Amino acid sequence: MNEYNCDLHYHGLHAGGVSKNMLIPVIAEQAQLKGLDVVVSADITHKPWLDHCKETLKEIENGVYVHEPFSTQFLIGTEVQDQFRVHHLIYLEDLARAQELREKLKPFGNIDGIMMGRPLLKLNGEKLAELVEQVNGIIGPAHAFTPYFGVYAHYNSVRACYGALADKVKFIELGLSADTYFADLIQENHSYNFFSFSDSHSPWPNRIGREFTRIAMKKPSFKELKHALERKESNRITLNAGLDPREGKYHATACNDCYAHYTLEQAVQLKWKCMKCKHAIKKGVRDRISELATFKEETHPSWRPPYLHVLALAEIIQLTLNAKKPEDPRVQEIWKKFVERFGNEINALIEAPIAQLKEVHVEVGENVEAFRAGRVLYYPGGGGNYGKPFICKNEKEMELKRKEIETLHLSQSLAGQKTLGEY
């Protein structure tokens, strides 16, 4: 049994807000540099993207594809939106099944329209699951906790979304603002496998694979993926790796315009209107989970694999150099040196000996060492604004930075100023 790093959720260039570089040849190259063994076709029900996949992917066996000369393997899948704005991930046996599903979805929306890589369908989760079942596919909720399009934004349980087909659902995707700890506070979720995928709109390795799931399979295939979700034989998920939830865009309850943070109680009292700029306050994942939580303390089913909080290597280099963005040429030059030395980013970030990392770049090696030791603090994200990580070299620096973040949070959340009753 082998283990494979998988990212089975991102979008091609025909979905809204996606980089023009999101094309199969670029994805195949960048996924290999990231250290991803298995990725997804993405957006396969959209005809222009389906045609692009047919032109650029070569089938090496039933339902498994590559773009030569790169080694990363592609499975077939997509994301769709139902009539209640819930997003779902769907995986299929091969391109022929994708064509079958396309025909079944056509009566329910303009699946081939401009920017419809993620189609908007006029059917509910139960009916969608029924259509997916008819083509022998796999379905489950995408980024289950996010406030706009997650299943828990619209339902109090996954089962309520899928109705009579609920038993067919074997996974939920956590999304960038939640992890295993948060998700397992809800009893219902102990029956589901957890996926951690990037939902990337860009092919570059600071985005694609920023969250990935390591899956034990004999070899990549739809059948083996299905067996892993059934925990059949030795197939199973062995690791979830992703952002610390505080780095996610919707972790904390915050204004979706000025990003001022609020407690849940403050937001309710203010009727979800920011007292700073009067725009809407968006409930964060942390508070939504707290509303639904069965448990007050960390608890997991015995088979749940570990969750590894990660930072993209380019992000660590960016913080080291105090660069404005990971695309900075200085950041990219150092990133390439690490990938050339260790084969791919995941190897450099997680597996490579620290002494060898320091041979490539001393300061970056030190920051990777600090990251592995858990010396990373965050100003939490919220309202659609990513959280900000801070890497600390020692415990003393951590304590000073923790106080600095608390002060920043107080000033930006309006806490400690006027009471709500005074507004």
Per-residue model confidence as pLDDT tens digits over 263-286:
999 999 999 999 999 999 999 999
Query: pLDDT tens digits, residue range 136-162?
Result: 999 999 999 999 999 999 999 999 999
Query: pLDDT tens digits, residue range 202-251?
Result: 999 999 999 999 999 999 999 999 999 999 989 999 999 999 999 999 99
Which pLDDT score, from 0 to 100, does residue 233 have? 87
Domain for residue 192, yes or no? Answer: yes
Check pLDDT > 90 for residue 414. Answer: no
User: Would you state the structure tokens that stand for residue 99, as one six-digit string?
Assistant: 């064509």
Check pLDDT > 70 for residue 298. Answer: yes
Ramachandran category for residue 27: left, alpha or beta (phi over 0 → left; psi -120 to 50 → alpha): alpha
Q: What is the mean pLDDT of the segment spanning 356-364? A: 98
Query: pLDDT tens digits, residue range 381-402?
Result: 999 999 999 999 999 999 999 9
Is 272 strand, coil or helix?
coil
Which pLDDT score, from 0 to 100, does residue 415 have? 45
Q: What pTM value is reported for the model?
A: 0.94
Q: CA angle, 358 as apex, 356 and 361 as ends, to 5°? A: 125
Domain for residue 150, yes or no? Answer: yes
Q: CA-to-CA distance for 45 and 121, rounded, in angstroms?
A: 12
Number of domains within the chain: 1
Domain for residue 164, yes or no? Answer: yes
| Crossing angle of helices 95-105 and 125-134, rounded to 10° | 140
Query: pLDDT tens digits, residue range 330-355?
Result: 999 999 999 999 999 999 999 999 99
Domain for residue 165, yes or no? Answer: yes
Residue 394 parent element (H or E) = none
Domain for residue 335, yes or no? Answer: no
Q: 410 falls in which pLDDT band (50, 70, 90)?
A: confident
| Residue-averaged pLDDT of the chain | 94
Q: What is the mean pLDDT of the segment spanning 43-57? A: 97
Domain for residue 128, yes or no? Answer: yes
Q: CA-to-CA distance for 219 and 4, rounded, in angstroms?
A: 8
Which pLDDT score, from 0 to 100, does residue 1 have? 87
Check pLDDT > 70 for residue 323. Answer: yes
Which pLDDT score, from 0 to 100, does residue 366 have? 97
Percentage of the chain modeled with pLDDT above 70:
97
Domain for residue 218, yes or no? Answer: yes
Residue 67 is part of a domain; what is its CATH number? 3.20.20.140
Check pLDDT > 60 for residue 423. Answer: no
Domain that holds residue 43: 2-246
Q: Find all residues with CB under 8 Å of 331, minimum gap 6, and list them.
A: 314, 317, 318, 321, 323, 325
Check pLDDT > 90 for residue 374. Answer: yes
Which pLDDT score, from 0 to 100, does residue 229 have? 98
Q: Phi and psi (nearest 5°) for 88?
A: -130, 140
Q: What is the mean pLDDT of the segment spanning 110-117? A: 90
Q: CA-to-CA distance for 220 and 5, rounded, in angstroms?
A: 10
Domain for residue 423, yes or no? Answer: no
Which pLDDT score, from 0 to 100, does residue 408 have? 79
